[in-house]
Amino acid sequence: MQASARNRFAGTISAVREGAINSEIELTTPGGDVIVAVVTQTSAQRLGLAVGKEAIALIKAPWVMVLTDEGGIKLSARNRMAGTVSRLIKGAVNSDVVIALPGGSAVHAVVTNDAVAELGLKEGVAATALFKASHVILGVSA
Amino acid sequence: MQASARNRFAGTISAVREGAINSEIELTTPGGDVIVAVVTQTSAQRLGLAVGKEAIALIKAPWVMVLTDEGGIKLSARNRMAGTVSRLIKGAVNSDVVIALPGGSAVHAVVTNDAVAELGLKEGVAATALFKASHVILGVSA
Amino acid sequence: MQASARNRFAGTISAVREGAINSEIELTTPGGDVIVAVVTQTSAQRLGLAVGKEAIALIKAPWVMVLTDEGGIKLSARNRMAGTVSRLIKGAVNSDVVIALPGGSAVHAVVTNDAVAELGLKEGVAATALFKASHVILGVSA
């Protein structure tokens, strides 16, 4: 598969919770990270999502928020990955921020330049990527 | 209506499934394309969404993922539209990719330049636009 | 907390509706604006979201759509804020649009330049920011 999504994580489905419209799926990566996705129940059935099945999680870079300090706040977003900024490409409006994770992978986020300035984002700075479960697309072998 | 969303599709509601919090709505375009949206049940009621009603679907360009090869992977995203790249405007970080569809309409996606390079996106290349049901905003006549 | 999200609104939770997978939360700001968020029920429990609790809503700028004329259309997106464009920074592909709200706060949206041209967005123009409940991240004091 060739997809534009900058973030792709492979793992094994470790939990499935079904609702009337949406299902919540947990994917555990080989490194032990847990990614939570909310997909429609129709998709969950069509893809045969079940505990033990291998799957990938795709997340577009603009769907990722960057935090440098959680300072006493708990956020509702289910997915977070902490690392260090390893690359920053600045455009006129947005910047592409890459956060290297301890396990060797990386997360891409597209944030506004205002945010880059306000958070002092640059190579070497500790940062956390945050994204909602409803922003994750899951894939399985056809 | 004047809205910034680059993608707008008109059609007739062909299915409604209600849950406790969210409702899943299917819109069928005159060309036979089916667009699936997840909106809150409160919105579905406020808009009077029901089978047979005319509606529009709005999708912002950054919510659209681009695929050039699905290579043996099934993805959870409910909406996909296959066509040919007809325009590509490149910024410092992002590119605006327009995919012309067989029926004469087009889909806009904003993807990172890294994705453009990796997928070899350029005019004339076959590409598929993919977006989640939860990223679709529906509209009806007031 | 230091977060990249350009939009942050503080308020008090005024309603909670629980579903099997998702919960719908209403936040009322001191100025009387109501922001609706859909988060997973697991998040709602983990954060202890309940009526009367103080919370913040975070929304990334690319998740915000801009309208200049609602012209007889009702849209499903639960959140809308009307104001006046107070700043516009144009890149090669996207523009960062700031809409000043009557109460003194502002909403940021990232939209394509095509949209800026089509809607005639510039300083002083009346505009409405629109975003889906499923695109709001909630936060509470830890």
Q: Which of A69, A115, A132 sits opposite C6 (nearest CB)?
A: A115
Q: What is the dihedral of CA C76, C81, C86, C91, to 10 degrees?
A: -30
Size of interface A-C (CB pairs under 8 A): 129
Kindly determine whether residue B142 and residue C72, on different chains, have CB atoms separated by under 8 Å: yes
Residues contacting A32, CB < 8 A, separation 6+: none
| Shared domain check, C81 and C30 | no
* Residue A86 covered by a domain: yes
Q: What CATH number did the domain enclosing A66 receive?
A: 2.40.50.100
| Shared domain check, C98 and C113 | yes
Report pLDDT for B39: 96
Tens digit of each residue's pLDDT (9 = 90 or more) over C32-64: 889 999 999 999 999 999 999 999 999 999 999
Tens digit of each residue's pLDDT (9 = 90 or more) over B28-71: 999 888 999 999 999 999 999 999 999 999 999 999 999 999 88
Contacts of A138 in chain B (CB under 8 A): 75-76
- ipTM, two decimals, is 0.93
| Shared domain check, A82 and A67 | yes
| Shared domain check, C68 and C54 | no
Tell me the mean pLDDT per 10 residues along chain A, length 142. Answer: 94 95 95 94 96 97 94 93 96 95 92 96 97 96 90
Residue C128 has pLDDT above 90, yes or no: yes
Chain B: nearest CA to C23, how far in angstroms? 7
Report pLDDT for C27: 97
| Shared domain check, A93 and A120 | yes
Residue C92, exposed/middle/buried by CB under 10 A (0-12, 13-18, 19+)? Answer: middle
CA-based nearest residue in chain B for residue A2:
B69
* Residue A1 covered by a domain: no
Kindly determine whether residue B137 and residue C112, on different chains, have CB atoms separated by under 8 Å: no
Cα A119 to Cα C45: distance, rounded to the nearest angstrom? 29
Domain that holds residue A65: 61-130
Q: Report yes or no: A85 and A124 within 8 Å, Cβ to Cβ.
A: yes
Share of chain B above pLDDT 70, in %: 100
Report pLDDT for A95: 95
* Residue B12 covered by a domain: yes
Residue C141 has pLDDT above 90, yes or no: yes
Q: What is the number of structural domains in chain B?
A: 2
Residue B72 has pLDDT above 90, yes or no: no
